[in-house]
Structure 1
Amino acid sequence: MKLDIDLAHSSYDIIIEKGIFSKLSDEIKKVFTGNKIFILTDKNVDKFYGDIVIKELETAGYEINKLVLEPGEETKAFFTLPKVYDELLNFKLTRSDLILTLGGGVIGDLGGFVAATYLRGVSFIQCPTTLLAQVDSSVGGKVGVDLDRGKNLVGSFYHPKKVIIDPNVLETLSDRVFNDGMAEVIKYGCIKDKEFFYKLLNYKNKEEVMNNIEYIIHNCCKIKKEVVEMDEKDTGERMKLNFGHTIGHALEQHYNYSKYTHGEAVAIGMYEITKISESYGETEKGTADIIKNILIKYNLPYKLDVDINEIKEAMKLDKKNINKKLNLIFIDKIGKSKIVQRVLKNE
């Protein structure tokens, strides 16, 4: 399966194909004519795919260097950047060379930010290895790092030359990491696609999900592609992709990224924001319960275990906070979303 993203200053393909990592060089050659490739990955991914990818690329004649980082959100931080830049300088990477991000959202976001800033911009290709990265963070050009006071507060819009997705790599994910990605999959149904939402709700088990995984990834990427093409710089329609994220990001930060995965925090955010919007009369009654049911089905949390006033300061630092008003994403009902401005006050 193939999708093309067509933007004013950039266009690239998303390739979704089981087993494509075994012919990675063929896809790279379509967009890259240089010789040096720098692979950025983490220990979890390297254990399964590092040697396979290096062997395939070296056999095709590329000169390869690899940096393996610690897994986890803590790595997506400013202090990691000098280490990566040093490795690029030691490898003598130039603007005619390539960075390849092999990993989940942390590696993709960090590697993309490095690509955007090193020598004022070098080419990169995304090879996302988690479901969350495949359906969300690898597509759309958002790259960045976290600060102590909040997530993704430093970053840029910088698009890859290509996104190469091999659904087979999901077989090596733990159930928790797989379900983490399902939270973002569910989000797409909530905001844009009622039929898709109810398909997800009706799948019998993980085996049935995996039997339909190419369709699931393709549908999520298709929705994101259409939104990004409409609003690349996140000033309007694209904000809807952050449904559940305002509370989710604040919750992640509250626990120093140690208690909840990103998807788990977003799951809680989707349920909690829908309870709030129902209480305002902005959302069809019973919608929060429908969301709760699908989150339970995919072993995702839904209940906020902290007083919302404790995380409101972090919510105010959200990038959607403009002129002291926070753009919150509500859904009218499953499949239909909207942006609503609210002033956050401690209660």
Structure 2
Amino acid sequence: MTAAPAECSPRTIRVQLSADPYPVVIGAGCLARLGEQIGDRGFREGTKVLVVTNPLVHQHYGTIALESLRQAGFEASELVVEAGEDRKTLATVARIHDAAFEHRLERGSLIVALGGGVVGDMAGFAAATWLRGIAVVQVPTTLLAMVDAAIGGKTGVNHPGGKNLIGAFHQPRLVLIDPTTLATLPEREFRAGMAEVIKYGVIGDAALFAELEAAGDIGSMAAVGPALLQTLLERSAAAKARVVAADEREGGLRAILNYGHTLGHVVETLCGYGTWLHGEAVAIGMVAAGEIALAKRLWSAEEQRRQKALIAAAGLPQRWPSLDPAAVLRCLQADKKVKDGRVRFVLPTRIGAVEIRDDVDSERILAALSAQISPESNPDQTSP
């Protein structure tokens, strides 16, 4: 078991939804105060809590979470599920439902998602659908989940035809981020999380993008360091909170958070879930979106060079894998953001600004991908 620091001096960022606002609490050692934080949200002693986690997170942090909940007077139990993208299915959600039934979770009960984005998505979807909706608390333990997946209430699972096609909006009551849990995160997954941080820089925070450029190597937790890490967590959480508050259910503005994701989801779907980590696929998708923007003269070659250089500094892949063009176009048509048969792309207009376009024809898409083609579809490849 990995020990957690005793002290927690958190920074709180609020997601200001009109109906159900909630806090994002960020602080080293806060996992040990999970029970206290949940109690502060109005849950009473004796409330039944089901902690959903995966084997590795359970090994390091399961005991800390359960002890904190029990010390606060909650009736806590745990379910450990496999949590790769290939396990992000309705079958796994059914296991969570079975555990909810076994432990007699009621409408006043709570599910805690302790893990990365896959655990968060599945546990959140299970909470949204158990008894037509019970509370969920997100406790992300990966960088990608901390800066993106745990905030905003998007939950769901994959379908053979595409990523996250089955799901629901179900906002958490609390997001608790303890940066010390990243100490046990594999370096490849840390790099994948940096893709989402870079995304925030491109879509709306030019100063964050420049700060990342100035840092040089951003491909590991050791290289980033605790001070910059705290900044990245706070700035990313605040950016996500602002967009979600303005557009809770992705009716307009929130779509900009999908920068890099439209083509990234194609990579994940056609290469097979788990071949590339989500953040790696997003990095490839951002470069592809940049190529399309360059072809449409929305931004400059220098801005695309800067984006590619920063992605490289994070140790992330950039080249498009060898995929059948017809399959790519079919997969794009299955994307959740298709409207009236037209694929909507988030395209950059400068570092710090993007726009949503539905006027990208198939020929331009395939030409941009061809320019980015990789000689090998290798998930460990990080060079341009």
TM bracket, shorter-chain basis: over 0.9
Bigger fraction of residues in strand: 1
Pair 1:304-2:314 in alignment = no
Q: For 1:15-164, what aligned pairs fall within 5 Å after superposition?
A: 15-31=25-41, 32-33=43-44, 34-164=46-176
Q: Which moved more, 1:252-261 or 1:204-213?
A: 204-213
Q: Which amino acid aligns with 1:218?
A: E
Pair 1:233-2:219 in alignment = no
Q: 2:213 aligns with which of 201, 207, 222?
A: 201
What 5-or-longer segments of structure 2 have no aligned partner? 1-10, 367-384
Q: Which amino acid aligns with 2:276?
A: Y
Pair 1:11-2:28 in alignment = no
Offset at 1:113?
0.5
Offset at 1:208?
4.9
TM-score by length of 1: 0.97
Q: Which moved more, 1:149-158 or 1:200-209?
A: 200-209
Q: Distance in 2 between matches of 1:8 and 1:181?
A: 29
Percent sequence identity is: 36
The answer on whether the counterparts of 1:325 and 1:344 sit within 8 Å (CA) in structure 2 is: no
Q: 2:177 aligns with which of 146, 158, 165?
A: 165
The answer on whether the counterparts of 2:35 and 2:70 sit within 8 Å (CA) in structure 1 is: no
Q: Distance in 2 between matches of 1:223 and 1:180?
A: 19
Question: Deviations 1:171-194 (Å, cap 9, x if unpaired)?
Answer: 111110100100000000011011
Which residue does the alignment assign to 1:345? 362
Which residue does the alignment assign to 1:318? 335
Q: 1:279 aligns with which of 292, 295, 308?
A: 295
Question: Deviations 1:91-123 (Å, cap 9, x if unpaired)?
Answer: 011011111000000011111101010000111
The answer on whether the counterparts of 1:180 and 1:263 sit within 8 Å (CA) in structure 2 is: yes
How many residue pairs match? The answer is 347
The answer on whether the counterparts of 2:289 and 2:348 sit within 8 Å (CA) in structure 1 is: no
Q: Which amino acid aligns with 1:29?
A: G
Question: Deviations 1:218-255 (Å, cap 9, x if unpaired)?
Answer: 10011111111111111211111100000000100111
Offset at 1:147?
0.6
Offset at 1:344?
4.6
Question: Deviations 1:252-275 (Å, cap 9, x if unpaired)?
Answer: 011111321000000000001101
TM-score by length of 2: 0.88
SS of the equivalent of 2:301 reads coil
Q: 2:353 aligns with which of 331, 336, 342?
A: 336
Q: Distance in 2 between matches of 1:323 and 1:83?
A: 36
Question: Deviations 1:16-40 (Å, cap 9, x if unpaired)?
Answer: 0011011111101011225211000
SS of the equivalent of 1:322 reads coil
What is the RMSD computed on CA atoms of the aligned residues? 1.4
